[in-house]
Chains A and B, each alone.
Chain A
Amino acid sequence: MKILATYNIKGGVGKTATAVNLGFLAAKDGYRVLLWDLDPQGAASFLFRIKPRVKGGGQALIHGTRPVDGAIKGTDFDNLDLLPADFTYRNLDLMLDEAKRPDRRLARLLAPLKSEYDLVILDCPPSISLLSESVLHAADLLLVPLIPTTLSVRTLDQLTEFVGGFNGHQPQVLAFFSMIDRRKRLHTQIAQDLPAQRPDFAAAAIPALSVIEQMSVHRAPVTVFSPRSQASRQYASLWQEAKERAKLGEPG
């Protein structure tokens, strides 16, 4: 089982859109996928029409009083399950703080699921916190969506340096440009130049397209309702790159 996380300190950069589309594409390829919507806003849960509610809340999951697999819901798609968001996730930091080894807690919670899933995707809320630290420790691959600006690239470097300081397991970092506005010269220039220069950048890049925004109307991944759109093609190539970086074997 590989763990992939969509992470960025900033909000509104396309983390959830990436998580749900890659989750669907992986499941379509035959991988058994679990997507954990860690964001209390519950956008991924909303997109899959699943109520953002977990019995016992985040407390029960973090402290192990309820097993994680009991909270899992099937999506409408074969091989793709979701661990829904819950409003109590806003306090996950406090809950983790009470737990032993909080930075390793998520990895330990997910361990019992390894025979059931080939891939877990963690859709993280935007923050730097104990939760994000726990996510960084659990993940094999961090997918970092960046809006093409100089400052975003600086944040990526800080993140890479931070995970490079981990003892033992360190996640790989794969950044990609998201929400590229073709009308902005700076966006197109950075998005064109950087991936060729840096190995931690994916070749795939997700443009800012209204079809992606329509996901909340359709309540489904864009790769489902508009599979031939440019957005879907870019998510498909991002999935291919992520799969190779994470060294995910053939689906069983």
Chain B
Amino acid sequence: MRNGSIEFVLDGDPGARPDVGRAVSSDTGSTFSISDDGPARRVRRTWLDTFDWRLYRAGLALEQVGHPGRSELVLTGRDGERLAVAQAGAANGSDDRARWPALLGALPPGPLRELLEPVVGVRALAPVATATSQVRRQRVLNSDAKTVARLEIDQMSVTYPAKAKAAPRLAVSAVRGYQAQASRLGAELAAAPGIRLGSGSALDAALAAAGIEPAPRAGDIQLNAGMPAAAAMAAILTGLLDAVEDNVRGTIRDIDTEFLHDLRVAVRRTRSALKLAGRALPAELASRYGHEFKWLGDLTTPTRDLDVYLLGFEQMTAGLVGASSEDVSPFRHYLERTRTTAHRELARGLRSARFARLRRQWRAELASVRAVRKRPAVADLAGRRIAVAQRRALRAGQHITAASPAGELHYLRKRCKELRYLLEMFGSLYDQEQRWQAVRELKALQDCLGAFQDAEVQREEIHAFADRMLAERSAPAATLLAMGEIAADLAREQRKARMEFDERFAAFAGPASQARLTALTQAAAT
């Protein structure tokens, strides 16, 4: 039952016109009769989601429905209930996909956009499936010729991601006050040959017809404790290479900033994994590929740094007292221009022969890693590495005093990242609840260190930007003054994060938290 209607799937030839009337007629002993309700409609449908299926995972479906001459966006919930509708502008024939991908800012302001914002965030919406539906409405009449239910038969031809015909779907919805008769009708239909109860949305049906599994869980490598460490590391690194490759196209096309972010995360994790694998992997692999992945990481840094600036620009400038929004706009334009140049450089690197070679050779290398030695088992390696990373983080944090320079906090941040990657990389070995607890405490500390370090870097960068803008004569005095105010705000943010540090570190370094971490790895090793 979806959105108050009973749903059925009609078996048989998906291309043929289904005859529901045969199932509900006096021949079958039914007291109902069926009458057509207007001509069939042709509807163009485009389902939109983010690259990582955020809407689907949240139980939402966003559909652009194209009628002749117009199109609208419809957001529905898990049970098919309509949550919001917005006009999507004039439809453009078969070119409904042309306007996508697009960020949320491209949608008209209103309830639909407001509902999407917390789920979609900075990600772009892009078609995940398109189809054309032939929709026929019929009425179900009782013996007084009164309409007691409406039928909607949807014959859908999927056009993307693959051409396929979905099995026709039938929805029965009761007219108000006639639920009992509609239920009786539903029972008659369910008993008829070639008609079966169905569930799932039209999007599910379209994806199933196209042979696509929605929202695949990427990157979750299932390990077991006794697995040889070399095989486990190869599996983890292959998963990370998949993640890198999944995000290359979106990064080059600059669809949204998350593609680059996810690509960078996968690169950083690869570098950490290479470092932390120790003797589990052939020695020359770490040195050879460590260098290449550093190159790849460095290639992505300038664009990401500018993304961070631009994504936080509104927030960064919202608190300005002395400067106006016009004062900061040359700074924003400068950042945008610089980002365009940086992204061009990044895209060139990602299209380069060097990167293609790295991907090809690295995959082949990982495929050839054989578990020559059965020992160590992955749980032993993970336990040891986590214990070392835990000790290092503790030691680095305990050295920090009120007089410590920023570099010491940065060093601690790197140690925490290592620990976090290990907990995530080997995550499937551990009790999920315990791991979640451990990551939660670590994350609280990381957030504080991140806020401190980001403010430090941004403050330094803002000076460099100001120098360059001055040299280029692209900054009026008011803009430079505004940038000074932003730098002062960042310094305040940094101080605030510094003041929170002691408390956050104490929580992480406390006996309860440390005991949880130790217990986590020991339980997996036994």
A binds B: yes
- Chain A nearest Cβ from B171, distance in angstroms: 16
Residues of chain B with a CB closer than 8 A to A51's CB? 144
Tell me, yes or no, whether A73 is within 8 Å of chain B by CB: yes
Stretch of B120-128, B174-182, B297-305 on the interface side: B174-182
> In the complex, what residues of B have CB within 8 A of residue A71's CB?
177
Closest to A81 in B: B176
Contacts of B106 in A (CB 8 A): none
A49, B177: Cβ atoms under 8 Å?
no
Does B473 make an interface contact (CB < 8 A)? no
Across the two chains, which residue of chain B brings its CB closest to A51? Answer: B144
How many residues of chain A are within 8 Å of chain B by beta carbon? 12
Cβ-based interface call for B139 (8 A) = yes
Interface centre among B139, B144, B176, B177 (most CB of A within 10 A): B177
- What total of chain B residues lie within 8 Å of the partner, measured CB to CB? 9
In the complex, the answer to whether A49 meets B178 with C-beta atoms within 8 Å is no
- B219 CB, nearest partner CB in chain A, Å: 46
Whether A164 is near chain B, meaning CB under 8 Å from some CB there, is no
Contact B176 A76 (CB under 8 A): no
Of the candidates A48, A73, A219, the one whose C-beta lies within 8 Å of that of B178 is A73
Complex-state Cα separation, A72 to B177, whole angstroms? 6
Point out the residues of chain B lying under 8 angstroms from A76, CB to CB.
Answer: 139, 146-147, 175
A49 lies within 8 A of B176 (CB): no
Residues of A within 8 A of B176 (CB): 72-74, 81
Q: Which residues of A are found within 8 Å of B177, using beta-carbon distances?
A: 71-74, 81
Cα A51 to Cα B148 with chains together (Å): 12
Instruction: Please provide the chain A residues from 31 to 49 with a CB less than 8 Å away from any CB of chain B in the complex.
Output: 48-49
Is B515 on the interface with A (CB-CB < 8 A)? no
B316 interface residue, CB < 8 Å from A? no
Cα-based distance from A51 to B175 in the complex (angstroms): 14
Q: Which chain B positions have C-beta within 8 A of A74?
A: 147, 175-178
B145 sits at the interface (CB 8 A):
yes
Q: 1/0 per position for B233-269, CB-CB distance to A under 8 A? A: 0000000000000000000000000000000000000
Q: What secondary structure prevails in chain B residues at the interface with A?
A: loop
Q: Could you say which residues of chain B place their CB within 8 Å of the CB of A73?
A: 175-178
Which of A54-80 touch B at CB < 8 Å? 71-76
Cβ of B146 to closest chain A Cβ, rounded Å: 4
Question: Closest residue of chain B to A71, judged by CB?
Answer: B177
CA distance A73 to B139 in the complex (A): 16
Report B-chain residues with C-beta under 8 Å of the C-beta of A48.
146
Residues in A neighbouring B147, C-beta threshold 8 A: 74, 76
Q: Which residues of B contact A219 (CB under 8 A)?
A: 145
- Docked complex: A73-91 residues within 8 A CB-CB of B: 73-76, 81
Nearest CB in chain A to that of B144: its residue: A49
With an 8 A cutoff between CB atoms, is A50 at the interface? yes
Residues of A within 8 A of B146 (CB): 48-50, 76
With both beta carbons as reference points, the residue of chain A lying nearest to B145 in the complex is identified as A49
A45 to B83, CA, bound (A): 33
Closest chain B CB from A179 CB (angstroms): 28
Instruction: State A65–B273 Cα separation when bound (angstroms).
Output: 70
Chain B residue at minimal CB-CB distance from A78: B150
Q: How far is the CB of A2 from chain B (nearest CB, A)?
A: 21
**Nearest residue in B to A49 (C-beta to C-beta)?**
B146
A251 to chain B, nearest CB (A): 15
Minimum CB–CB distance for B412 against chain A, Å: 56
Which chain A residue lies CB-closest to B147?
A76
List A residues 169-223 near B (Cβ within 8 Å): 219
Contact with B along A128-139 (1 / 0, CB 8 A): 000000000000
Query: Closest approach, in angstroms, between the C-beta of B408 and any C-beta of chain A?
Result: 61
Within residues 147 to 181 of chain B, which ones have a CB less than 8 A from any CB in chain A? Answer: 147, 175-178
Q: Mark B494-523, 1 if CB is under 8 A from A, else 0.
A: 000000000000000000000000000000
Q: A71 CA to B145 CA in the complex, in Å?
A: 20
With the chains together, A93 CA to B144 CA distance in Å? 31
Considering the chains assembled together, what is the distance between the CA atoms of A72 and B176 in angstroms? 7
Chain A residues in 8 Å Cβ range of B144: 49, 51
Task: Name the B residues within 8 Å of A72 (CB-CB).
Answer: 176-177
- Encoded as 1 (CB less than 8 Å from any A CB) or 0, chain B from 476 to 499 comes to 000000000000000000000000
Query: For residue A81, which residues in chain B have a CB less than 8 angstroms away from its CB?
Result: 176-177
- CB under 8 Å from chain A, chain B span 111-137: none
State A166–B146 Cα separation when bound (angstroms).
Answer: 41
Residues of B close to A75: CB separation below 8 A: 175
A75 vs B146: C-alpha distance when bound (angstroms): 8
Residues of A within 8 A of B175 (CB): 73-76
A-side contacts of B139, CB under 8 Å? 76
Mark out the residues of chain B between 292 and 351 whose CB falls within 8 Å of any chain A CB in the assembled complex: none
For residue A46, give the distance in angstroms from its CB to the closest CB of chain B.
10
- Residues of B contacting A49 with CB < 8 Å? 144-146
Q: When chains A and B are docked, how far (Å) is the Cα of A49 from the Cα of B177? A: 13
A219 to B178, CA, bound (A): 19
CB distance from A60 to the nearest CB of B (A): 15
Shortest CB-to-CB span from A56 to chain B, Å, is 14
Name the residue on A nearest B139 (C-beta): A76
Residues of B within 8 A of A50 (CB): 146
Q: How close is A133's CB to chain B, nearest CB, in angstroms? A: 29
Minimum C-beta distance from B142 to chain A (A): 9
Q: Which residue of B lies closest to A84 (CB)?
A: B177
Tell me the bound Cα distance from A72 to B175 in angstroms: 10
Q: Which residues of chain A are within 8 angstroms of B178 by Cβ–Cβ distance? A: 73-74
- Closest Cβ of chain B to A208, distance in Å, is 28
Give complex CA distance A73, B146 in Å.
Answer: 11
- With most chain A CB atoms within 10 A of its CB, the pick from B139, B144, B146, B178 is B146
List, sorted by A's number, 24 A–B pairs whose CB atoms are closer than 8 Å. A48-B146, A49-B144, A49-B145, A50-B146, A51-B144, A71-B177, A72-B176, A72-B177, A73-B175, A73-B176, A73-B177, A73-B178, A74-B175, A74-B176, A74-B177, A74-B178, A75-B175, A76-B139, A76-B146, A76-B147, A76-B175, A81-B176, A81-B177, A219-B145
Which residues of chain A have a CB within 8 Å of any CB of chain B?
A: 48-51, 71-76, 81, 219
A76-B139, A76-B175, A81-B177 are known; give 7 further A-B pairs, CB within 8 A.
A51-B144, A71-B177, A73-B176, A73-B178, A74-B178, A75-B175, A219-B145
Enumerate the 7 nearest inter-chain pairs by beta-carbon distance, A residue then B residue, closest first. Answer: A73-B177, A74-B176, A74-B175, A49-B146, A76-B147, A49-B144, A74-B177
